[in-house]
Amino acid sequence: MTPLLCPARALAGNQQTDVAALKDHRDRMQQLFRKLDALHREGVRGGEAEQFYAGTFYLAEAEVWLAAAEGGGDARRERPRKPGEDAGAMSTCGSIRTAPFGSTTQQRRARKS
């Protein structure tokens, strides 16, 4: 989860504040996606396909978490994996483990070979 979202959800005393934190996160991801989309359409730096599709994923992820929280589910346990992502690269609030910025699973595997 993002650095802003984990503390907000950890401090959430009830489902309403948890949902509010997730709505704020979703709004941040929408804003990020709009910027990436504009850069991608213009074909300028910062709008590369990798950045654009990462932003698309993060927005979808935020919407899934919000829908689960509003539906009474517990979406804070584990985020869905990206296609091709191994479980070791997952990031959760409990133990933050993330892949190096800008690297993909295939690039990490190629470096190990």
Whole-model pTM? 0.58
The answer to whether residue 77 scores a pLDDT higher than 80 is no
In tens, the pLDDT along 25-71 reads 999 999 999 999 999 999 999 999 999 999 999 999 999 999 988 88
- With CA atoms as reference, report the closest residue to 62 among 100, 95, 33: 33
Question: Would you kindly state where each structural domain of the chain is located, as residue ranges?
Answer: 5-112
Rounded to whole angstroms, the Cα distance separating 101 from 70 reads 31
* Three-class DSSP category at 2: coil
